[in-house]
Amino acid sequence: MDRWLNVVVVTGITALLLMGLAAPKSHTVEAQKLVLKDKAGKVRAALGENADGEWGLTLYAADGKPRAALQLDENGEPQLDLRAATSPVRTTLDANTGLGLIGPEGTRRAMFGMDAGEPAVGLADKRGRPRLTLRADDAPSVSLYDEQTIRRVFLGFGGGDARVYVLGGVPKRTPGTTVDMSRVGVQSSALIEARADGTLSLRLHDPARHVPWRAP
């Protein structure tokens, strides 16, 4: 009985070895998450799904805080997130909004990217309200916005003429509401034009959009 048992064991082991030698070698590693640690056992890199449900690669500093991440956001868009070691300032890069600078308060303070298919630069205050925009399209322009995010100063081109448009007396509105610039009850405005033929003009508008004074 022991002899037959030994034969069965040896035969089984031999069969397993032959199966292992005959099995094709795979160059693919499958896992839900890959974590790399340093000699001290600290996590320095992680590839997989993070706590926010986003998939990507995250690199960690020695203090255990994430410093860089290449991931897909909740909409499946690629995003690169870089975090400073000595301050809460962040730099982001994604396929939609372009390059962004995040201030210590967590709001986007600067943006360089594409707006309606044209390159644009935007600057915002600490509350994330747009205060300055620069567009470089067929008619490049610079716009300045007040604390109500209403455009008050416009410098740009129109029909080949250089224009400076200044709005004044815009009534206050409740925070959080939006305002259609074409419907704002502007109290007064001024338009300075430098035409392509070299002539200059200045026009003042009253609240009724009339031109009570102009020169020449």
State how far the Cα of 109 lies from the Cα of 115, in Å rounded to an integer: 16
- In the structure, what pLDDT confidence band is assigned to residue 124 with cuts at 50, 70 and 90? very high
Q: What's CA 121's distance to the chain center, in Å?
A: 12
State how far the Cα of 164 lies from the Cα of 154, in Å rounded to an integer: 6
Using DSSP's 3-state secondary structure scheme, residue 68 falls into strand
Q: pLDDT tens digits, residue range 88-97? A: 889 999 888 8
Which range has the worst mean pLDDT, 149-153, 160-164, 190-194, 207-211?
Answer: 207-211
Under 8 Å between Cβ of 103 and 126? yes
Which pLDDT score, from 0 to 100, does residue 14 have? 53
State how far the Cα of 141 lies from the Cα of 160, in Å rounded to an integer: 12
Q: pLDDT tens digits, residue range 60-76? A: 999 989 999 999 887 88
What value does the mean pLDDT take over residues 39-58? 89
What value does the mean pLDDT take over residues 101-105? 92
> Above pLDDT 70, what percent of the chain?
79
Under 8 Å between Cβ of 202 and 194? no
- In the structure, what pLDDT confidence band is assigned to residue 107 with cuts at 50, 70 and 90? very high
Using DSSP's 3-state secondary structure scheme, residue 183 falls into helix
Tell me the one-letter amino acid at 103. Answer: G
Which pLDDT score, from 0 to 100, does residue 10 have? 44
Which pLDDT score, from 0 to 100, does residue 180 have? 52
State how far the Cα of 86 lies from the Cα of 11, in Å rounded to an integer: 65
Instruction: Give, in order, the Cα–Cα distances in Å from 55 to each of 16, 30, 77, 79, 83.
Output: 38, 15, 11, 10, 18
Give 24's DSSP letter: P
What value does the mean pLDDT take over residues 194-213? 86
Residues constituting the chain? 216
Q: What is the pTM of this model?
A: 0.70
- In the structure, what pLDDT confidence band is assigned to residue 184 with cuts at 50, 70 and 90? low
User: 6 pLDDT exceeds 60?
Assistant: no
